[in-house]
Structure 1
Amino acid sequence: MSDQPAPSSPIPNGQPAPPLQLNIQYTKDLSFEVPGAPEIYLSLREQPRVDLSLDVQARQVPGQQPNVFEVSLQIRADAKIKETSCFIAELVYCGVFTLNVPQEHVEPVLLVECPRLLFPFARNILADVTRDGGFPPVMLNPIDFVALWQSRRGQGQQVGTA
């Protein structure tokens, strides 16, 4: 990274730095468990009910410029038929972003725009892992990250910095 310009300086062609830059994205953690295998496959007669939970976290990356953040999408899919667990899938999908926005815009960019960029990739990973695990793929519906951020603000939570 030493050959890249500082985030707040103009980029080589004289243009100002972009307000949001995705530096890298990656799977930080992925877990897929079928607690009742192989019996669950032999007795599966209907589509399982899938309970989903999603969370977005953001933190400054230690040792970097103060405008470099890791944003993580944390998704859990818990599939059951009646009370029998079919599978549990957990995914933490992250991106490292450089922000060049006014301070008052940092939180909404981190918790709305950044996860919006990461979501299609996380959605694809979750669909692939559930399909490869022998079940119908879990296809997440689009997420309203603005509503998620607003509900989080209503609960008094703030962006975490570590």
Structure 2
Amino acid sequence: MAEDTPNPETPAIDSGAVDPAQAPSFGIIGQYIRDLSFESPNAPASLLPGAQQPTSNVNINVQVKKQADDTYAVELGLNVKTERQGSVIYALELVYGGLFRVKNIPENQLSALLMVEGPRLIFPFARQVLASTIQQGGFPPLMLEPVDFLALFRRNLAAAAEKQKQAAQDGAPTTVN
């Protein structure tokens, strides 16, 4: 039978050190589709096999909108255009969002949390809506690879810094969003 004596090599944990009301938290309140559009302008001819494989162009963007003091909407914009020999087979636009509650997160970490972790959490659901819609349109589902939202965030920060640097060199007033 094990004894309940403290191990001198294990640091003691002060259970009163962190006030639960002050602990950082980040959680999803709900998810939604704000906009969904699917077009197959050349159907039913676009369903016939062609000499060439179709090519898809996928664009992803992330937007964050403050809803209340501790509530933010994180929206993924997914645009897919699939063509074969210059003819559009289908085009899909989806704006899929998540409503997040954020408490006790330092201001300097809030942007990265919302622009990286928020999209990472809702992306699998948006990907499923996209694949299902394309399949219901009569085409094989497009299964998107996971997206590295941290790399996307860093790339956008670098682009904004470069734009600000260029504006400063041109003598134009600079603004930070």
Query: TM class by shorter-chain length?
Result: 0.7 to 0.9
Larger radius of gyration, structure 1 or 2?
A: 2
Query: 1:24 pairs with 25, 30, 33, which one?
Result: 30
Q: Deviations over 1:33-68 (max 9, x none)?
A: 00111221235455421100000000101xx2x221
Q: TM-score, normalised by structure 1?
A: 0.82
The alpha carbon displacement at 1:18 in A equals 5.2
- For 1:127 and 1:45, locate their aligned partners in 2 and report how far apart those are by CA, in whole Å: 24
Letter in 1 for 2:79: R
- Which residue of 1 is the match for residue 20 of structure 2? 15
Q: Could you tell me the TM-score, scaled by structure 2's length?
A: 0.75
More helix by share: 2
In structure 2, give the amino acid aligned to 1:132. Q
Number of residue-to-residue matches in the alignment: 144
Amino acid aligned to 2:127? R
Give the corresponding residue for 1:147: 151
Distance 2:47 2:66 in 1: 43
Counterpart code for 1:24: G
Distance in 2 between residues matched to 1:133 and 1:123, nearest whole Å: 15
> What amino acid is the match of 1:15?
P
Computed over aligned residues only, the root mean square deviation of the Cα atoms, in angstroms, reads 2.1
Equivalent of 2:42 in 36, 42, 45: 36
Partner residue, 2:110: 106
More moved, 106-115 vs 44-53: 44-53
Deviations 1:95-115 (A, max 9, x none): 111112111110000100000
Greater relative contact order: 1 or 2 (C-alpha under 8 angstroms, separation 6 or more)? 1
Amino acid at match of 1:19: S
Runs of 4+ in 1 over 2 A off after TM superposition: 14-18, 42-47, 157-160
Q: Does 1:97 align with 2:86?
A: no
Q: Distance in 2 between matches of 1:34 and 1:110?
A: 34
Q: Structure 2 regions of 5+ residues with no counterpart?
A: 1-18, 162-174
Task: Report the AA paired with residue 151 of structure 1.
Answer: R
What residue number does 2:73 align with?
A: 70
| CA distance in structure 2 between the aligned counterparts of 1:94 and 1:79, rounded to whole angstroms | 23
